[in-house]
Amino acid sequence: MSSKVSHLFSWSKVLFEDSFEKVGIFADSYLRQKASRLHEETGVSFESKEKSLKIFYHLLGGDKAKELHITDKRFIETSRTLLEKFSGKGKSFFLAWQDEKALYFPATLSYFDDKELNDMHYYWLCAMLSQVNLQSSNIMTENARAAAFLIKKYPGFQDFYKQAKNLLLQNYPELSYIDSSQSEVLLDDKSYPNPLWIYPCISTNAKLLDFNDEEEMGREDGKKDKTEELKMKKKANQIDDEKETDGLLLFLPESLMSFMEQVNVDRQENDSFDEDALYNAADLDEITLGKKDANLSSRVKMDLDISSREVEDYPLGDGFLRDEWDYKKGIYLKKYVRIYPQVAINVEPIPLPKRLNAMMRRIQSELDLMELDRIKIDNLPYGDEINFDAWIEYRGHQNRSNHPQRFFQSFEKKTRDISTLLLADISLSTEAGVTQDIRVIDMIKDSLMVFSESLHRLEDSFGIYAFSSIKNKKVNFHIVKNFKEKYGELARGRIEVLKPGYYTRLGAAVRESGKILQKQQSQNRLLLILSDGKPNDTDRYDGRYGIEDTKKAIDEVRQMGITPFCITIDVEAREYLPYLFGRNSYAVIRDAKKLPKVLTEIYMNLTK
Amino acid sequence: MSSYYLPQANEVELFEAAAGMNLPVLIKGPTGCGKTRFIETMGEKLDREVYTVVCHDDLSAADLVGRHLIDENGTYWQDGPLTKAVRNGGICYLDEIIEARKDTTVVLHSLADYRRVLPIDRTGELIEAHPDFMLVVSYNPGYQNVLKGMKPSTKQRFISLSFTYPKPEIEKEVILKESGVDEPTAQKLVNIAGEIRQLSDSDIQEAVSTRLLIYAAKLMVKGFDPYEACMHSIVESLSDEEDVLEVLRKLISLHFSKAE
Ligand SMILES: Nc1ncnc2c1ncn2[C@@H]1O[C@H](COP(=O)(O)OP(=O)(O)O)[C@@H](O)[C@H]1O
Ligand SMILES: [Mg+2]
């Protein structure tokens, strides 16, 4: 035991103690003082390489669920206590490491006076990360083994390693130990960590050394997301509880409630305020959401003197009661779930956000290809060209007087006979982060924007709805754009104001969507579901119950001749989606950032 | 000249058995994995002519069955490839059947089941299939499509063979035979393919095929620098996205150091 500890101990020293300069604990000041030996001019940033490194990691067989992150302050923060244990001062290096969830790279690499080498350094670390065994206790032999493997397999890495090592040794004589053939080299205070190596994950290190802070360290590092999740759950529960007592009021400020009554009166006096459609909400898809929406918002302000211009979800009536499938009893619970259709008002019409322009341009070239599709229409009494086939057949026909004599054909742009309803899950789980500053909901919104833009350009018929739920009492069904409304700035505005909240009673939302799609005249009807996880709610709608009800709902819409297809970013979805949708009717997108592009591509693939 | 085909598994035996039982065959598999080569080889082996039709949107029933043509003596009937195979015996191979419209492929139904007959509406004929007639269709399951797709009832009439890219040893052997490149290079190409095939749909649209690897090897045999050869045969054809291209270029340069 003691020998193992001392071995690790010396390595931890290398990890956290820098005996050359006494610098503060902050990354930038450390970098600044180190500048003498680094080459900022030729440095390469992680940011510029992130995408490529991720693909590269996949190429080398790396786990596709792993994320790539910068090892920066976070690393320093989590290590501070450890650090103080050793030296009482905070210093750190930017080293590549990994844990079960992610790979961590330095934010920049600038050891070399040559951009190409610094660039290659990232690829090298990435390849090493794909090779090094997380569990290995002896990082020296493990790194040596991984490096030898890479050098042997890839001549390109052999060249790099030779060159990089020589340059490093010139600049950092303290690194001389890396050439040592002994696996147990004695490291002293002058030792410097090898920038070409992968270092152990800090929390496992702490565990092995049995520190008092073990608990805290672990939480700060690996379990961070769990705590977040917990917090989110709590928040949702609170709201849920309040809701129990307050009823609708939680969602609609009192002022709006009274507005609803007022409008009723108002309407009789003034017919120009024509909101019949809104009140006749049973026909969700028939509601006209065009300019009236804007009208309505100004009206709200005028009539009720609401000073805030805040976006509100405006309920379209009291909702409807729908059935739900109880798999245990094997029966439908009649009129068990209440669906609340609603639409956001006070929404500001917006143009397509600039951040999506580049992506739209790329997709446009694919759209162009689809629009080129022309179809031949044959056997016409008149048309663009003579169909010689038909003519010759007529000539060869025994009984010419009986012949229909339709000799012409035309080429027409194919009318794509399809209606698509996109149903987006905006439950609270979509609040989760994809990266530090992008949330799942942001990606969902971008996806909706790009999707709408594309279908609009294809002139395909589509509607967009979003949902979340609070038990069977309230399934919020947000109309973003119905089939009748023309897509435009207002629909985009409604996408932009979507907010995550509550739970995922998927079955109910699927049934409602099916009802809407069923009314569309098209030959082909597609229900695209965008989700981030299993169906769930806080009542029994969880686990098997939720899955079974959703499956039933999917089967129901299939019966209507609708094609359901699910796109999810839940990497565990393979456990339940095949059951819900069948093997060929779903797609799992591991990288949520790809969602906007992939969603539209999937649509094009499904319908080309 | 007999064509070369190295079996991936027991597909040769299965195909022979299907031919013996007068059953149609359906081959699934990504493009460039050897489907066409397999059927050509089986045609030679069974001594049956292969009539290949590559399906597309505009393919009409007349393109399969035949049509009236005109000459100085008036009109006459010309058999299409399907009718020829049905009349005289032979393998009718419909490549990428999914691309064809449903109203085109309905003519196959009565040929695929126990009836083995082909009705020709335009001439009023009902042709009973020659004992050596065999229907073979292929498609790429990677493309999902709501608007098209095969009816399950049709699919169930076929003996199915599922092709994938060959296993590394087999693929290496195929590259060696088809291109004449040296063994270490063939091995490298197989390694590169193995790595690229790790990528999922969200990284890349289609994986590298055996066909592309053979192209790369052939370019090298013609004297092109290995890096260049891979660029033009493998990398550029797989993606147009700069991030993906950069990584693929990097990967190739790691395997074949770039010529200065
Ligand atoms: N098992 C194999 N044996 C021999 N050649 C093969 C084999 N698999 C692939 N090939 C080679 O790959 C090329 C592409 O195969 P092909 O049959 O055209 O593919 P597909 O029809 O599946 O698109 C062939 O020309 C042949 O050179
Ligand atoms: Mg959810």
B11-40: b (≥16 Cβ within 10 Å) or e: beeebeebbeeebbbbbbbbbbbbbbbbbb
User: CATH code for B11-162?
Assistant: 3.40.50.300
**Lowest-pLDDT range, A35-39, A570-574, B166-170, B253-257?**
A35-39
User: Which of B58, B75, B144 comes nearest A605 by C-beta?
Assistant: B144
User: Which of A157, A375, A606 comes nearest B145 by C-beta?
Assistant: A606
* In the block, residue with structure tokens 């006096």: A269
Which is higher by pLDDT, A207 or A457? A457
DSSP code of A358?
H
Q: Are A527 and A510 in contact (CB under 8 A)?
A: yes
Q: Which residues in chain A are contacts of B143 at CB distance < 8 A?
A: 605
Q: Of A103, A102, A123, nearest to A44 (Cα)? A: A123
* Contact: B254, A155; criterion CB under 8 Å: yes
**Lowest-pLDDT range, A252-266, A579-593, B240-254?**
A252-266
Look at residue A499 in the predicted model and tell me its pLDDT: 92
Give the separation between CA B174 and CA B117, rounded to whole angstroms: 39
Q: Phi and psi for B44 in degrees, rounded to 5? A: -65, -45
Q: Which residues in chain B are contacts of A373 at CB distance < 8 A?
A: 57
CB contact set of A569 (below 8 Å; sequence gap of 6+): A440, A443, A531, A532, A588, A589, A590, A592, A595
Is residue B43 over pLDDT 50? yes
Q: Does B70 touch chain A (CB under 8 A)?
A: yes
CB contact set of A350 (below 8 Å; sequence gap of 6+): A489, A492, A493, A496
CA of B40 to the centre of ligand 1 (A): 10
Q: Does the model's pTM come out above 0.90?
A: no
Token pair of A237 as six digits: 């529960």
Angle between helices A73-86 and A202-209 (to 10 degrees): 20
The band of B201, judged by pLDDT with boundaries at 50, 70 and 90, is: low
Is residue A567 over pLDDT 80? yes
Q: Is A17 exposed, middle or buried (0-12, 13-18, 19+ CB in 10 A)?
A: middle
What's B11-80 look like in SS3? HHHHHHHHHHCCCCEEEECCCCCCHHHHHHHHHHHHCCCEEEEECCCCCCHHHHHEEEEEECCEEEEEEC
Which CATH architecture fits A347-354+416-607? Answer: 3-Layer(aba) Sandwich (3.40)
Look at residue A8 in the predicted model and tell me its pLDDT: 37
DSSP code of A594?
G
The band of B1, judged by pLDDT with boundaries at 50, 70 and 90, is: low
Q: Are A491 and A455 in contact (CB under 8 A)?
A: no
CA of A411 to the centre of ligand 2 (A): 46
* Contact: A60, B58; criterion CB under 8 Å: no
Query: Domain locations in chain B?
Result: 11-162, 168-253
- Which one-letter amino acid corresponds to residue A488? G
Q: Of A485, A467, A464, nearest to A476 (Cα)? A: A467
Q: Which residues in chain B are contacts of A155 at CB distance < 8 A?
A: 254-257
* Contact: A58, B244; criterion CB under 8 Å: no
Dihedral sign, Cα of residue A551, residue A552, residue A554, residue A555: positive
Give the separation between CA B227 and CA A115, rounded to whole angstroms: 21
Q: Phi and psi for B203 in degrees, rounded to 5? A: -85, -40
Q: Does B145 touch chain A (CB under 8 A)?
A: yes
Q: Of B167, B141, B209, B145, nearest to B9 (Cα)? A: B167
* In the block, residue with structure tokens 């500053």: A437
Give the tens place of pLDDT for each residue, A206-222: 333 333 333 333 333 33
Q: Which residues in chain A are contacts of B253 at CB distance < 8 A?
A: 156
Q: Does A607 touch chain B (CB under 8 A)?
A: yes
Task: Count how many residues are written for chain A.
Answer: 608
Nearest ligand to the C-alpha atom of residue B28:
1
Share of chain B above pLDDT 90, in %: 65
CB contact set of A580 (below 8 Å; sequence gap of 6+): A547, A550, A551, A554, A566, A586
Strand order in the sheet with B90-95: B50-54, B90-95, B133-139, B25-28, B159-162
Task: Count how many residues are written for chain B.
Answer: 260
Give the tens place of pLDDT for each residue, A167-203: 998 887 777 766 655 444 444 444 567 889 887 765 5
Give the tens place of pLDDT for each residue, A53-102: 999 999 999 887 788 888 753 333 333 333 333 332 334 567 888 887 78
DSSP string, A367-427: HHHHHT-EEEEEEESS-SEE-HHHHHHHHH-S-GGGS----EEEEEEPP--EEEEEEEE--
* In the block, residue with structure tokens 């009565």: B110
* Contact: B253, A58; criterion CB under 8 Å: no
Token pair of B199 as six digits: 């990528």
User: Which of B77, B147, B201 comes nearest A524 by C-beta?
Assistant: B147
Q: Are A94 and A199 in contact (CB under 8 A)?
A: no
Pocket of ligand 1 (CB under 6 A): B 4-6, 8, 29, 31-37, 166, 174, 178, 210-211, 214
Classified as helix, coil or strand, A39 is coil
Give the separation between CA B189 and CA B211, rounded to whole angstroms: 12
DSSP string, A441-490: HHHHHHHHHHHHHHHHHHT-EEEEEEEEEETBTEEEEEEEE-SSSPPSHH
Could you give the ipTM of this predicted complex?
0.84
* Contact: B147, A61; criterion CB under 8 Å: no
Angle between helices B35-46 and B11-20 (to 10 degrees): 50
CA of A458 to the centre of ligand 2 (A): 30
Q: Are B136 and B23 in contact (CB under 8 A)?
A: no
Is residue A253 over pLDDT 60? no
Token pair of A100 as six digits: 């079960």
Query: Domain locations in chain A?
Result: 19-291, 347-354+416-607, 375-412
Nearest residue in chain B measured CA to CA from A565: B146
Average pLDDT of span A343-355:
89
**Lowest-pLDDT range, A276-285, A328-337, A419-428, B247-256?**
A276-285
Classified as helix, coil or strand, A434 is coil
Nearest residue in chain B measured CA to CA from A420: B146
